[in-house]
A and B are shown apart, each in its own frame.
Chain A
């Protein structure tokens, strides 16, 4: 039996990939290492977290043979006392990961680099939850430096840098993550790195570069038989082609992604929702409504407001006034939060489709108020354009593209809608079985 690419010994690989060192600091950051943590975290607690970060970086960048004498014997005790004083003895969520890191300062223990890395990632996760992005990236970077050969840690730095719009830093960590993944043949991380890069390029508007990364990810995922990441790649390719207005390609990738996820897959509702919203924007109300109705019960909480707005608009699009009113009523019960303002804008568009200008004005006002308090500039811009349309009595212009009654594309779309509904079916039966078991 021949040796497959996946099992070949990496030491025998002839190609030697160079991985340049990534930039460790954002150029605009104030001088001392890690000081941005103090931008996020105020007071005594901030200083203790900052000092811990610096200790990890110092430990990570010192050769293992010199680490034993890196800290004074009482450094751990002192840091522990400072930490307890800064948290006022409360049961703070960071105490546990910090305690793991304190072992690094104990001269009698030799901590496992992976353990240090995981503790840093837990602190980064806490920082994400509390919206301290600078602290999050600093600790992710500390994790990646603690375990310099782990491509997953490098990839997590890349994603955070990308979300902070530090693109050159993200790109450097992307190359590092790909290089490391290739060295240790971690193809799952390799594909995920290309997916993350594709998303970054899409957000920056470099669509061909994004497509290149996604296709590279798709090829590798197919070649290594990684079905999970292959499905994710097809899903991302659908989003990209939709964004690029390549409708046929988008529908094709959506169909492939749906088949690849398979019946009842946990990511299927997100794909179905994305497809339905895309059809809604193009004016294919009937197919959109069919999928939205089927997917709504399975969507994560965060998607619910936008889905209700989309349901309202698509119901209005097919002339289902009771369906529109039901969706509108459900939306009005949702407290202000992410996506709610956007949902009200969709409701306003639905009202216009039904010819109810007063209700449209009310909905758009609610959306704009929410967008103002949440500083969502793009939604306010959309709200203003609908106000203008109402004022100019151009409601008809908002009816967009009429749904084609015939033609191959329409048939394909309708077939895809039916397929999505069928694929979502196991989720419903699974939930019914789950609730019956609970009863």
Chain B
């Protein structure tokens, strides 16, 4: 598995904000400034799942109070798994726009007039991480995750996002690897290694569903050497090829199988004893 640098794409006319974002993210991201929605779209198509996009939601608009740009909406429709952060002045009159951005799938907002320190911007970028995948995962309520299980799964999402391994997952929760293994058993989750593998496959599946991605670009974006390596990784947990997955609705199929595995691990009588 290759470690690809995490790109941070910026489409924002405010040079002060762009510089602030660049400085806040310099140790974690490789920042790329783009000049148009089209350029941004191309960048997102090639970006790995851990990429973050910072945009001005009104970019290119006339600023006549017509709401966020339709280009942003198209971007979020084409790439629902992309992590997009909006940078805007959160004036009280923008109540509707803020809510609308949330509904469109914006992962976080940088308040340009408030988040003026590096710590503030850094925290907004961290808060946005993996938000789209978390949202996708939460839509399936066929299996009730216990509180502990949910904490572990959320930590696994973040670990995989930065190319982490099971031992990194244990560290992020403050456990030793053996404690994590025990907690996974008690929480009726797969073992940490398999859980991390599942998260990788779910990430890849989310990208496969984005109409703008090819199977090859998904493989590269997820840190594999190409589509063959991606196929092998998916085969480890699912009886499908990437193309079959895509045809059947990749994320839906993969998450259904993931939840089925959780169902099999679940002790139905846990609450009844």
Residues of A within 8 A of B (CB): 18, 20-23, 25-28, 30-33, 35, 38-39, 42-48, 50-51, 54-55, 58, 61-62, 66, 69-72, 75, 78, 82, 85-86, 167-175, 201, 206, 208-209
B155 proximal to A (CB < 8 A): yes
Q: Which residues of B contact A39 (CB under 8 A)?
A: 99
Least CB separation from B132: chain A residue? A31
Q: Which residues of A contact B162 (CB under 8 A)?
A: none
Residues of B within 8 A of A (CB): 86, 90-95, 98-99, 101-103, 105-109, 111, 113-117, 119-120, 123, 127-128, 131-132, 134-135, 137-139, 144-152, 154-155, 173-175, 179, 183, 270-273
CB-based contact A20/B148 at 8 Å: yes
B212 to chain A, nearest CB (A): 20
> Beyond A20-B152, A31-B102, A54-B111, is A43–B95 a contact (Cβ under 8 Å)?
yes
Q: Which residues of A contact B151 (CB under 8 A)?
A: 20-23, 172
Q: Which of A23, A54, A72, A174 contacts B116 (CB 8 A)?
A: A72
Q: Which residues of B contact A47 (CB under 8 A)?
A: 90-92, 94-95, 98
Q: Return 21 A-B CB contacts under 8 Å, by A number.
A: A20-B173, A20-B183, A27-B134, A30-B103, A32-B106, A35-B99, A38-B95, A38-B98, A42-B95, A47-B94, A51-B90, A51-B111, A58-B115, A69-B119, A70-B120, A75-B116, A85-B92, A168-B146, A172-B148, A206-B272, A209-B270
Cα-based distance from A239 to B135 in the complex (angstroms): 37
Cα-based distance from A169 to B98 in the complex (angstroms): 25
CB-based contact B271/A208 at 8 Å: yes
Cα-based distance from A279 to B148 in the complex (angstroms): 40
CB-based contact B93/A31 at 8 Å: no
CB-based contact A168/B271 at 8 Å: no
Q: Which of B92, B137, B179, B273 contacts A27 (CB 8 A)?
A: B137
Q: Which residues of B contact A169 (CB under 8 A)?
A: 147, 150
How many A-B contacts if CB must be within 8 Å?
A: 139
Q: Which of A18, A22, A26, A46 contacts B174 (CB 8 A)?
A: A18
B137 to chain A, nearest CB (A): 7
CB-based contact A82/B92 at 8 Å: yes
Q: Which of B107, B119, B138 contacts A32 (CB 8 A)?
A: B107
CB-based contact A51/B114 at 8 Å: yes
Cα-based distance from A419 to B120 in the complex (angstroms): 62
Cα-based distance from A66 to B127 in the complex (angstroms): 18
> Beyond A35-B99, A54-B111, is A167–B144 a contact (Cβ under 8 Å)?
yes
Q: Which residues of B contact A72 (CB under 8 A)?
A: 114, 116-117
CB-based contact A31/B123 at 8 Å: no
CB-based contact A171/B148 at 8 Å: yes
Cα-based distance from A130 to B106 in the complex (angstroms): 29
B24 to chain A, nearest CB (A): 13
CB-based contact A171/B147 at 8 Å: yes
CB-based contact A172/B150 at 8 Å: yes
A157 to chain B, nearest CB (A): 11
CB-based contact B273/A31 at 8 Å: no
Cα-based distance from A69 to B121 in the complex (angstroms): 13
Cα-based distance from A170 to B145 in the complex (angstroms): 11
Q: Which of B120, B137, B139, B145 contacts A168 (CB 8 A)?
A: B145
Least CB separation from B273: chain A residue? A208
Cα-based distance from A174 to B139 in the complex (angstroms): 23
Cα-based distance from A70 to B99 in the complex (angstroms): 26
Closest 9 CB pairs of A and B: A27-B138, A171-B147, A30-B102, A172-B147, A44-B92, A206-B271, A47-B92, A20-B151, A209-B271
Least CB separation from B115: chain A residue? A58
Q: Which of A22, A58, A209 contacts B120 (CB 8 A)?
A: A58
A208 to chain B, nearest CB (A): 5
Q: Which residues of A contact B120 (CB under 8 A)?
A: 58, 70-71
Q: Which residues of A contact B138 (CB under 8 A)?
A: 26-28
Least CB separation from B174: chain A residue? A18
Q: Which residues of A contact B271 (CB under 8 A)?
A: 201, 206, 208-209
Least CB separation from A44: chain B residue? B92
Cα-based distance from A58 to B174 in the complex (angstroms): 22
Cα-based distance from A161 to B148 in the complex (angstroms): 15
Cα-based distance from A31 to B147 in the complex (angstroms): 21
Cα-based distance from A45 to B95 in the complex (angstroms): 9
Q: Which of A22, A25, A30, A85 contacts B147 (CB 8 A)?
A: A22
A205 to chain B, nearest CB (A): 9
Cα-based distance from A69 to B148 in the complex (angstroms): 35
Q: Which residues of A contact B93 (CB under 8 A)?
A: 44
Cα-based distance from A23 to B152 in the complex (angstroms): 9
> Beyond A171-B148, A172-B151, is A33–B117 a contact (Cβ under 8 Å)?
no
CB-based contact B173/A21 at 8 Å: yes
- Since A28-B139, A66-B119 are in contact, a sample of 6 more A-B pairs with Cβ atoms closer than 8 Å, ordered by chain A residue number, is A20-B173, A21-B151, A30-B103, A31-B105, A32-B108, A62-B119
Cα-based distance from A172 to B146 in the complex (angstroms): 8
A30 to chain B, nearest CB (A): 3
Q: Which of A26, A78, A168 contacts B149 (CB 8 A)?
A: A168
B130 to chain A, nearest CB (A): 11
Q: Which residues of A contact B106 (CB under 8 A)?
A: 30-32
